[in-house]
Structure 1
């Protein structure tokens, strides 16, 4: 029986994708991968496999073998590095990879490169400079890893941005409400739609959010300029702030992002769009955005009478509390 494979099932992105897939009731096996054998997504998978980190030399060979072993037809990466590495090797893989072309995922993986390429095309992006070249360019600063993920390693207004090496980037601090916009681009390059949430973060993850429609026209114009300039494809995520100059992006993720389980409840099920287009060969359903808000809470997956060493997948006996 053929399968869909979801990577990074220990993280909130991968778990959200798994819940969306289960809700679709596709009648297809779901295979999960992670860098550890047991994690929070195991109970949602029919099979789970431990794989190397995406940056490790053996990652692609391991994934290629796994795709054949599990008869995988569609891969849904949930991390930036996996999305990029899999996109780079997509022509040699025996399954469809749900990721933008490698030239775009590589561009967006590096925030400084993203700024440079957008500036060349006249597209807005948080003004950025490498620490070695910083000359008090901005009144307020944010220093972060060039290829950082989430909110890890971020320093707001550090005493001396020049103290960091050039694996970091110095961005102008953008003062204003933070927005997260997910947009979906069809295989033909046309913009299928978008949804914007105003959100609050806790340790880099969304803790609460609300559907935001006030900036739809401005964001739609920006997305159309972006998709005309670069070959974005599939589900992508634009993180921005509302400033006096308008909506200004500061990071883009070329993969399904962390609020996928939330936005599916508000008329933008981009996991379903991905499956419809890339697996089922259908035109994705039209977005039907509704208002609302969401709070994230913790649940426990409890396995009575089992040790961690014995856990495997959804065939294990468990309860969620």
Structure 2
């Protein structure tokens, strides 16, 4: 196989999405890539990052896989990198369908994804392996609130990823309200202990391949007081301490952070990852506590690439050509983010093929 101009298909490329971050990484990689982008919406800004773009059905459509296969055939795709949660699941589950056509899928094994999908079971699993985690319980009804030992707490969906429908509750009434809100809208909810301080929050990227070969390990200390990165910020009812939940748009400081990275490597190894994993955690007096784990590339993928840790490029080169990166000496410093606008005409939108 020619190792130049590798054709990669990146799915789920809407604004601010993981898919968009993956495109950024491939664009600044030290190798040549032909990037094909797909999304279910014609008004997804990531589609306009490349001239090879398609509108596809939603991931839960019975037509989805056929659409992706047709695009792969037309564009001679060599690698698929899913950029949304639903697409990661279905593409990982059907890896064999693509491997039979010599198409490489850059995801973790289906089993690892399922282990991480249920946040409550994941916490229990990690705890059983000796990895400390925030205390978490299932919200079943109002009586569950009696089990809360200390406020505030985080109320979040039992499955899913990102900061969507994640709430901070400071008392019984708020905990009941948010728990019942999630139940009403079809999501099982968990109550998670709020741990540590927002000024000691990190996001860790670990890339393992072939049952334990460590490819990359990188950590960023998050900046959470800016409006772009903050979903919810409140003060304690009996003190002036600030309690913060991230919006999911990460920015911050890249440095060695050895203790944090090593903790992330241990978690990834316990989960038997064979691909990228992103771990959000806080460094506390009780150790480094992970509160969100997603077995995929991260919303910080583009930022990591800017400092010299280009995970999509590294994994792609390894899977296709067996290339193992030299020890990474990535830049130390801050990556800050903002919002950018892009003008698109109606004619641009109407010209995007639907497959």
2:78 to 70, 73, 79: 73
- Number of equivalenced pairs: 310
User: Equivalents in 2 of 1:86, 1:110: separation in Å?
Assistant: 19
The Cα RMSD (Å) is 2.4
Q: Which residue of 2 aligns with 1:29?
A: 34
Q: CA deviation at 1:70?
A: 2.3
Q: 1:108 to 1:11 in 2, by over 3 A?
A: farther
Alignment of 1:178-257 (within 5 A): 178-199=201-222, 200=224, 201-203=229-231, 204-206=247-249, 208-214=251-257, 216-220=258-262, 222-257=263-298
> Is 2:318 the partner of 1:277?
yes
1:148 to 154, 160, 167: 160
User: Equivalents in 2 of 1:169, 1:100: separation in Å?
Assistant: 25
* TM-score, normalised relative to structure 1: 0.87
Q: Which residue of 1 aligns with 2:188?
A: 167
Q: 1:131 to 1:188 in 2, by over 3 A?
A: closer
User: Equivalents in 2 of 1:20, 1:267: separation in Å?
Assistant: 10
Q: 1:56 to 1:174 in 2, by over 3 A?
A: farther
> Is 2:349 the partner of 1:309?
yes
My pick for the range that moved more, 73-82 or 116-125, is 116-125
Q: Which residue of 2 aligns with 1:319?
A: none
* TM-score, normalised relative to structure 2: 0.79
2:95 to 90, 99, 116: 90
Post-superposition CA distance 1:283-319 (Å, at most 9, x none):
134221331002112222235x764534549xxxxxx
Post-superposition CA distance 1:41-79 (Å, at most 9, x none):
122223111222223333223223332232211111122
**Which residues of structure 2 form unaligned runs of 5+?**
232-246
Q: Which residue of 2 aligns with 1:318?
A: none
Q: Which residue of 1 aligns with 2:126?
A: 118
Q: Which residue of 1 aligns with 2:58?
A: 53
Instruction: Check conservation: 1:101, 1:233, Cα contact below 8 A.
Output: yes
User: Equivalents in 2 of 1:206, 1:24: separation in Å?
Assistant: 22
Post-superposition CA distance 1:134-166 (Å, at most 9, x none):
342331211111223321111211342653536
Q: Which residue of 1 aligns with 2:13?
A: 9
Give the secondary-structure state (helix, strand or coil) at the position aligned to 2:282: strand
Q: 1:294 to 1:24 in 2, by over 3 A?
A: closer
> Is 2:145 the partner of 1:104?
no
User: Equivalents in 1 of 2:6, 2:31: separation in Å?
Assistant: 11
Q: Which residue of 2 aligns with 1:316?
A: none
Q: Which residue of 2 aligns with 1:300?
A: 341
Q: CA deviation at 1:264?
A: 1.4
